[in-house]
């Protein structure tokens, strides 16, 4: 049993001044039990808590750290930028340079604007889509997360053809009434939502969903979605905040030939710093102020420290041969090993991989949408999470999150993790 006394004390102290003791609910351990670890430092694929326990980290700051913790190239570039100033509230050349690195990687996106978070990116993209289409309603998908803006914190109503209901107190029904919630990988449910509304401005989707666990959208489903949007003059927003430059150099376009009208990015493009972006076709993006009438602004948008980290990250991605091939091979090695070990212990396990992203569900059947995901054995996941943590393996603290491979990992690291998994399943079976 690991000593986590300092984490326990720090958590108790945090709860006195921070709601729930954490500054983002995803960091809490409510669904797996125990105390969230307070992290002191990271190094490559490892993190160390304030009790100096060492863990193999598959969270990687929820995705951004494709090169692991404290990458020397990124660190050096950030330190150099720091010496020139933290923020100016004025344009810098590095903002343009970063966007020019992103645009060639995503077919159909012609202009882009930098913001500070994925929530800000999706919120701004939806405002722009409504202005362009001159319509009010939006369609999202059950199980997809697009940040915590009011219009998007909406859960499914009594059926897919109904408008959603607020999934958080503090959101007026007058706002959620413009959001319809469809079923992921189910094009008929999208048609039903469109028919129920008749006033759909945009459809927003994670084409590689990472917030109900890793659930990639079917190719045929995405192409049908594009066809519907074209036919009914609806703006299609692909939310690649998580999957952009994580699943592949071209995000979902590495797997499906699909164009977005608008797309959102985050995480990897900031290299571990707060940075996100939204972009799209020029005729839509030119509606933004100061060129057009759609207002969007941010004091720290395009922050020079964040753009420094993002720029070196994207350049390093492009200059690393076979990066995604190698990371995907490691991801498959991990999940195939987990599935084999689980089977040996008579435990049902479903897995998926997209590039350096992976997911697994304690589920008898393949997971295609959030209804499927919710049938997973979350109590078993909690036990597995606890057992792996005791053995020094740090997975996301929810069945409904995605895991990430980073470049400092190798086959030897994954083999150690699989040994821990075998021991953990054996302990659970006892």
Tokens matching residue 242? 């998580």
The DSSP H or E segment spanning 121 is helix 118-133
Count Cβ atoms below 10 Å from residue 178 Cβ, excluding itself. Answer: 20
Secondary structure of 390-412 as H, E, C letters = HCCEECCCCCCCCEECCCCCCHH
Q: Which of 145, 184, 324, 394 is catalytic?
A: 145
Q: For the chain, what is the total number of helices (H) and then of strands (E)?
A: 13, 18
Count Cβ atoms below 10 Å from residue 233 Cβ, excluding itself. Answer: 12
> SS3 for 42?
strand
Count Cβ atoms below 10 Å from residue 310 Cβ, excluding itself. Answer: 35
Active-site residue, 430 included:
no
Q: Is the dihedral of CA 230, 233, 234, 237 positive or negative?
A: positive
Do 264 and 242 contact (CB within 8 A), yes or no?
no
Q: Which of 46, 135, 140, 267 is catalytic?
A: 267
Q: Which of 49, 186, 239, 261 is catalytic?
A: 239
Q: List Cα–Cα distances, 260 to 70, 134, 149, 195, 225, in angstroms.
A: 34, 18, 21, 22, 10
Q: Using omega within 30 degrees of 0 as the cis cutoff, is the peptide bond preceding 189 cis? A: no
Active-site residue, 137 included:
no
C-alpha dihedral (215, 333, 69, 269), degrees to nearest 10: -40
Pairing of strands 403-404, 357-361: antiparallel
Tokens matching residue 388? 């792996």
CB under 8 Å to 248, separation ≥6 — which residues? 254, 255, 324, 354, 355
The DSSP H or E segment spanning 372 is helix 370-373
β-pair partners for 238? 205, 263
Active-site residue, 267 included:
yes
d(CA 42, CA 398): 21
Residues noted as catalytic: 145, 239, 267
């Amino acid at each position: 049993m690991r000593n986590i006394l300092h984490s326990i004390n720090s958590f108790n102290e945090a709860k006195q001044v921070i709601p729930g003791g954490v500054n983002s609910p995803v960091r809490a351990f409510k669904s797996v039990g125990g105390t969230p670890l307070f992290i002191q430092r990271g190094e490559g694929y490892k993190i160390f808590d304030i009790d100096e326990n060492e863990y193999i980290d598959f969270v990687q700051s929820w995705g951004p750290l494709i090169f692991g913790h404290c990458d020397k190239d990124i660190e050096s570039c950030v330190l150099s930028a720091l010496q020139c100033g933290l923020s100016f509230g004025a344009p810098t050349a590095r903002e343009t340079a970063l966007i020019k690195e992103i645009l060639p990687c995503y077919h159909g996106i012609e202009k882009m604007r930098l913001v500070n978070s994925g929530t800000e990116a999706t919120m701004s993209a939806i405002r722009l889509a409504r202005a362009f289409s001159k319509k009010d309603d939006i369609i999202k998908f059950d199980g997809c997360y697009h940040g915590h803006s009011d219009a998007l914190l909406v859960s499914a109503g009594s059926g897919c053809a109904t408008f959603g209901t607020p999934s958080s107190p503090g959101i007026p029904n007058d706002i959620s009434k413009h959001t319809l919630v469809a079923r992921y990988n189910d094009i008929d449910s999208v048609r039903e939502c469109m028919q129920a509304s008749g006033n759909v401005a945009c459809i927003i989707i994670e084409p590689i969903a990472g917030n109900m666990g890793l659930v990639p959208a079917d190719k045929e489903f995405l192409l049908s979605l594009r066809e519907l949007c074209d036919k009914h003059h609806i703006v299609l927003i692909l939310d690649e905040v998580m999957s952009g430059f994580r699943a592949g150099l071209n995000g979902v376009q590495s797997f499906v030939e699909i164009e977005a009208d608008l797309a959102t990015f985050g995480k990897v493009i900031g290299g571990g710093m707060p940075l996100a972006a939204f972009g799209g076709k020029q005729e839509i993006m030119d509606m933004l102020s100061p060129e057009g009438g759609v207002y969007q602004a941010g004091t720290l948008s395009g922050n020079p420290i964040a753009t420094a980290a993002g720029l070196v990250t994207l350049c390093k991605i492009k200059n690393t041969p076979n990066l995604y091939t190698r990371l995907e091979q490691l991801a498959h090695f991990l999940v195939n090993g987990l599935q084999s070990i689980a089977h040996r212990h008579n435990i049902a396990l479903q897995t998926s991989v997209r590039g350096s992203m992976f997911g697994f569900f304690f589920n008898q059947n393949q997971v295609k949408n959030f209804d499927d995901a919710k049938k997973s054995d979350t109590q078993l996941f909690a036990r597995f999470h606890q057992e792996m943590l005791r053995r020094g393996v740090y997975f996301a603290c929810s069945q409904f999150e995605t895991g990430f491979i980073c470049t400092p990992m190798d086959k030897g690291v994954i083999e150690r993790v699989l040994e821990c998994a075998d021991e953990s399943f054996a302990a659970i079976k006892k």
